[in-house]
Amino acid sequence: MILPISVHNRFLARLAQRYRARAQHHRRLAWLGYTLSALNVIAIAFFVFDAALGRTAKDLPHRLVTIAGDITDIGKLATILTVTVTVIAVSLLIGKRLSNVRRRYRMAILTQMAVYLSLSVVAASVTVHILKLAIGRARPLLYDSTGIFHFDPFNGSFLYESFPSGHSAHVGAVFVALALLFPRFRLLFVGLGLWLGATRIIIGVHYPSDVVAGLALGAWFAFATAVVFARYGVIFTLSPEGWPRPRFIGMTIFQHSARRL
C-alpha cells in the first residue's frame, strides 16, 4: 500500500524533528580506532594462525567437525531473515488484533527490534559478499595446492571466496545487535557469536583471519545501524557520550506501560 503524500511528509517531518531534538548528543565515534584494532587482529590471525590451521584442520576430531557442521548454518542469511521476517509479520498481525494499548505497544517495539536486526544483517551481507568476490582468497580446502597467500579476484567460484567469512559477518551482526539490545546478556551473545564463527574454521571452509574479519565487519554494521537508529530515537537512545543504548533495557520493555514514541 502506497502512503498518501501528506502522511509520508508528516512521517519525514517527525523523523527530522526527532533527529534535531537529539543533535546535541551527537558525538564523533572512534571509527578509526575500531578499524585499526580490527585490522591488527586480522593481521595477527593471518600471519600466526592461518598457516597452522591449514596444516592441522584435517586432523580435527570427526565428532567435532560433525557438530560444527550441524550448527554452522545458523549464520546463513536465509535462516536469519526467515526468523526476523516471521517475527515482524507475527508482531504486526497480533498488534492489529490487540485492543490493549500496552500490548500493541510491546508488539510495535518487537517489530522495530526485528527491523533493526534485519537491516544490520543485510547491510553486512551485501558488503561482505562484494569483498569476497573482489578479494578472491582461496579457501582452506585448497591449502595443499595454494597455501594461505593465494588470491584470484573476481573468480566467482566458491573455492575463491574465503575472505571475509559471510556466515561470520551475519553472526557478528546478529549477536552484536542482540548484545546492544539486551546489554545484560551481552557476554552470552558475544560468546555465542565467537563459537558460531569458529564453526566455519572447524569445518574447514575458512581460515581464522576470514572469521575475524567477518565478525568485525558484522559487528561494525550492527553498531553503526544502532547509532543511526539512536539519532532518531528509534529503539535506541544516545548516551551523554553519544553512544547508542537501548531505550528499553532487555526484556523490561514488556514490563513498562505504553508511552509515546
pLDDT tens per residue, range 30-54: 788 888 999 999 999 999 999 988 7
Count the Cβ atoms, other than its own, within 10 Å of residue 234.
19
Given a cut of 60, whether residue 173 has pLDDT beyond it is yes
What are the DSSP calls for 71-125, one per residue?
Answer: HGGGG-HHHHHHHHHHHHHHHHHHHHH---HHHHHHHHHHHHHHHHHHHHHHHHH
Overall average pLDDT of the 112-132 stretch: 94
Q: pTM to 2 decimals?
A: 0.83
Q: Would you say 254 and 106 are in contact if contact means Cβ atoms under 8 Å apart?
A: yes
pLDDT at 209: 96
**What are the φ and ψ backbone dihedral angles of 178, each rounded to 5 degrees?**
-65, -40
Q: Would you say 179 and 164 are in contact if contact means Cβ atoms under 8 Å apart?
A: no
Which domains, from first to last, does the chain contain?
A: 30-255 (1.20.144)
For residues 19 and 248, the model is more confident at: 248
pLDDT at 105: 67
Mean pLDDT, all residues of the chain: 82
- The model's pLDDT over 76-116, given as tens digits with 9 standing for 90+, comes to 888 888 888 887 777 667 766 655 666 666 777 888 888 99
Given a cut of 70, whether residue 13 has pLDDT beyond it is no
Q: What is the enclosing helix (H) or strand (E) of 6?
A: helix 5-21
